[in-house]
A and B are shown apart, each in its own frame.
Chain A
Amino acid sequence: MIAASHLTRQFGTRVVVDDVSLTVGRGELVALLGPNGAGKTTTMRMLAGLIRPTRGAAAIDGVELTERNGSRLRRRIGFLTEAPGLWDRLTVRENLEIYARLYDVARPSAAVDALLSQLGLSEHASMRSAELSKGMKQKVALARALVHDPDIVLLDEPTAGLDPEIAKHVRDLLEERRAAGCALLVSTHNLDEAERIADRVAVIQHRLLAFDHPDALRRRFARGRVRVRVAGEASRFLAIARSFDREASAHGAALTLQLADAEAQTSGLVRQLVSAGADVVEVSHERAGLEDVYLHFVKPDPEGVSA
């Protein structure tokens, strides 16, 4: 539905986003991960048609975003900016209704009422934005991004600084939008959140370092550590384990070893243990977390500036 094709953005001589290509399909949620200054916000701004790529293009359903068609295509996008950016002197309702009209919503009041209710903001509708807590401001900003019922949603750190309850509420809302067929691109520092909600994960540090399903990424970086629990003393079968890994060890009923390719070698290991008379009770693979994947790719950035 929305695609980045070789997106590149330079500021002077500094390349902030370098040849990034990714797609977000209908009913898909992609998490954009990367350290501060990695180019996440710049990528999102290019996808939202707010800034021009130096090279490459952003496209919606195959139509390239340009200055000429920007106004028409932006109507399909809901963009949560890094800062909430609410008009402080206006109430929550006024903020949302004015944005609903800016997005050409046919019945702005009704759309705002529905959204306020859905997000549990009805009680705060008459409060001025300046009076809201940081978390509530973020929630209102999210409501603003969704007020025109967009089919593409770009959210720049939607749960940053939110308490767990509101963050959960936001995640639920994203799930609903995904179920409704929206394409969602969500930048976050919260790896646990990305692991839980994302269909695919894009790791970016100026360049796109990885882009795949979380499970596939984890498998790719699984450490290959296998633990086999047998009935009785495991040391009886240590020789077999050491034929797979010379460093294998036995502690009580457990054999622990490192396999070069855990997916492929585990069945062979179990077969040999059983042939040698072992009663295999449990085999477990130590799985890599998204954090391991992230840390594998992301290197300290000496520039470390906001981008």
Chain B
Amino acid sequence: MNQRIRALLQKELIEVARHKSSLLPIVLVGVYCLLLPFVLTIVLPRVTGDRLGEDPDFVNVAGRSFGMYPHLSADGRVQTFFFQQFLLVFLVVPVSVAMSAAAHAVVGEKEARTMEPLLATPLTTAELLVAKVLGALLPAVIVSAPGLLLYLASIAVFAEPGVFQTMMTMRSAATVVLLGPGLALIALQLTVLIASRVQEEDTARQLAILSLLPLGGIIFAQFTGRVWLSAAALAAAGVGLIGVWLLLLVLSVAVFDRDAVLTRWR
């Protein structure tokens, strides 16, 4: 990463650190995503006395993965399925909140009249946009990382015996290392791309969230058991998503019109 990207990234991180309340939505969504699978798979069965592995709906949803873990109890198999699905949600949902920060990072600079001096520097458009994406991504990662550790630790403590070990697979690693960052980069790059073409932060945010609907569809299909991606498929998808991000970055640079940013935005 070159000095100019690091410099602008540092500025973004200082601003977040001085405006901690901007992280609150990420924290709240993270906590919600952290609690939900445990409430669903551990708390509710204990309160109601129902067994997960005997619930035909859960067994049906867990579908294809159900037979993959013969060493686990029936409850453990359903828990494994849900914890794996929520891992993806846990990684992606906070990023959707970070999209606000990404939109603000571009439109906010213009509104505060800080964009012009920035564009007067040798900073290239690609450097500017990469710094803006990373500036929105890193706080989300920093906030989510302890949550992820807590998520895994809670599985180790509260889930059925063997579930944690079963979770520690290449599939989970591909989800955490490739799929999550890939989806995050695409979501944030899309937001920055849109934010550089519109004049209002709200418009940028709404259009970007709209563009993520297909992603929501994939997550929903996973949840309902209609799609079950193997570790290799997840890894390939992750690498593919990072490739898509690079293409989006090139597109963002091409459509970022410095002239229009300074003369048409009012």
C-alpha spacing A69/B120, complex, angstroms: 13
Do A103 and B121 have beta carbons less than 8 Å apart? yes
User: Measured between alpha carbons, how far is A280 from B234 in the docked complex, in Å?
Assistant: 102
Is there contact, CB below 8 Å, between B120 and A83? no
Q: Is the CB of B117 within 8 A of A144?
A: yes
A67 to B258, CA, bound (A): 10
Whether A103 contacts B122 by the Cβ 8 Å rule is yes
A114 within 8 A of B: no
Candidates A52, A75, A83, A145; contact of B259 at CB < 8 Å:
A52
Known: A51-B263, A81-B117. A89 touches B18 (CB 8 A): yes
- Chain B residue at smallest Cβ distance from A101: B7
Of B7, B113, B120, which is within 8 A of A50 by CB?
Answer: B120
List chain A residues, Cβ under 8 A from B122: 71-72, 74-75, 102-104
Interface-forming stretch among B9-17, B52-60, B85-93? Answer: B9-17
Task: Annotate B1-44 by CB proximity to A: 1 below 8 A, 0 otherwise.
Answer: 00110111011001100110000000000000000000000000
State the interface size on chain A (CB cutoff 8 A): 32
CA distance A99 to B116 in the complex (A): 13
Q: Name the interface residues of A128-145: CB closer than 8 Å to any CB of B.
A: 141, 144-145
A90 B15 Cβ-Cβ under 8 A: yes
Q: Determine how close the nearest CB of chain B comes to the CB of A105; give it in whole angstroms.
A: 9
Collect the chain B residues with CB atoms within 8 Å of residue A101's CB: 3-4, 6-7
Q: What 0/1 pattern do residues 82 to 105 of A give for CB contact below 8 A with B?
A: 110111111000100011011110
Of the candidates B4, B15, B115, the one whose C-beta lies within 8 Å of that of A104 is: B4
Whether B112 pairs with A50 at a CB distance below 8 angstroms is: no
Q: Using Cβ atoms and an 8 Å threshold, which residues of chain A touch B7?
A: 98, 101-102
A88 with B116: CB separation less than 8 A: no
List residues of chain B with CB within 8 A of the CB of A45: 262
Query: Which listed residue, A74, A88, A99, touches B112 by the CB 8 Å rule?
Result: A88
Nearest chain B residue, comparing its CB with the CB of A74: B122
Q: Which of B100-128 contact A (CB under 8 A)?
A: 112-124
Contact between B259 and A51, CB atoms less than 8 A apart: yes
Which of B116, B120, B262 counts the most A-chain CB atoms under 10 A from its CB?
B120
Q: Flag whether A294 is at the interface (Cβ < 8 A).
A: no
A198 within 8 A of B: no
Q: Check if A86 sits within 8 Å of B114, measured CB to CB.
A: yes
A88 contacts which chain B residues (CB < 8 A)? 112
A85 with B117: in contact, given A98-B10, A101-B6 (CB under 8 Å)?
yes
Tell me if B6 and A141 are in contact (CB < 8 A): no
Min CB–CB distance A106 → chain B (angstroms): 10
A73 nearest in chain B by CB position: B122
The residue of chain B having its C-beta at the shortest distance from the C-beta of A99 within the complex is B121
Tell me the bound Cα distance from A52 to B8 in angstroms.
25
CB <8 Å contact, A85 and B262: no
Against A, the Cβ 8 Å flags (1 = close, 0 = not) of B41-79 are 000000000000000000000000000000000000000
Closest chain B CB from A99 CB (angstroms): 7
Please name all residues of chain A whose beta carbon is closer than 8 Å to the beta carbon of B118 when the two chains form the complex. Answer: 85, 102
A90 to B7, CA, bound (A): 13
Once the chains are docked, how many angstroms separate the CA of A46 from the CA of B55? 70
Question: Which chain B residues numbered 174 to 204 have a C-beta less than 8 Å away from chain A?
Answer: none
Q: Does A48 contact B (CB under 8 A)?
A: yes
Minimal beta-carbon separation of B126 from chain A (angstroms) = 10
Residues of B within 8 A of A85 (CB): 112-118
Question: Of all chain B residues, which has the CB nearest A83?
Answer: B113
Which residue of chain B has the shortest Cβ distance to A79 in the bound complex?
Answer: B120
CB contacts (< 8 Å) of B115 on chain A: these are 85
Q: Least Cβ distance of A89 to chain B in Å?
A: 4
Q: Quick one: given A85-B112, A89-B18, are A98 and B120 in contact (CB under 8 Å)?
A: no
In this assembly, does A77 line the interface, its C-beta being within 8 Å of a C-beta of chain B? yes
CB distance from B132 to the nearest CB of A (A): 14
Nearest Cβ in chain B — how far from A184, in angstroms?
A: 16
Cβ distance A292 to chain B, nearest Cβ, rounded Å? 34
A86 to B262 Cα, complex, angstroms:
16
Using known A-B contacts A71-B122, A101-B4, A102-B123, determine if residue A87 contacts B262 with beta carbons closer than 8 Å.
no
Given known A75-B122, A102-B8, contact A50–B258 (CB-CB < 8 A): yes
Residue among A50, A90, A98 making CB contact with B262, cutoff 8 Å: A50
Q: List chain B residues, Cβ under 8 A from A72.
A: 122
A103 contacts which chain B residues (CB < 8 A)?
121-122
| Interface 1/0 per residue, B241-266 and A, CB below 8 Å | 00000000000000000110011000
Asked whether B263 lies within 8 Å of A11 as measured between CB atoms, the reply is yes
Residues of A within 8 A of B123 (CB): 71, 102
Whether A89 and B15, one on each chain, are in contact in the complex, defined by CB atoms closer than 8 angstroms, is: yes
Least distance between B194 CB and chain A CB atoms (Å): 22
Q: Show the binding face of B for A, using Cβ within 8 Å.
A: 3-4, 6-8, 10-11, 14-15, 18-19, 112-124, 258-259, 262-263
Q: A77-B120, A102-B4 are in contact. List 5 more A-B contacts (CB 8 A).
A: A50-B119, A79-B117, A85-B112, A87-B112, A99-B121
Q: List 19 A-B contacts (CB under 8 A).
A: A50-B119, A51-B259, A74-B122, A79-B120, A81-B117, A85-B114, A85-B118, A87-B112, A89-B18, A90-B18, A94-B14, A99-B117, A101-B3, A102-B7, A102-B8, A102-B122, A102-B123, A103-B122, A104-B4
- Which 4 interchain pairs have the tightest Cβ spacing? A101-B7, A83-B113, A102-B121, A79-B120
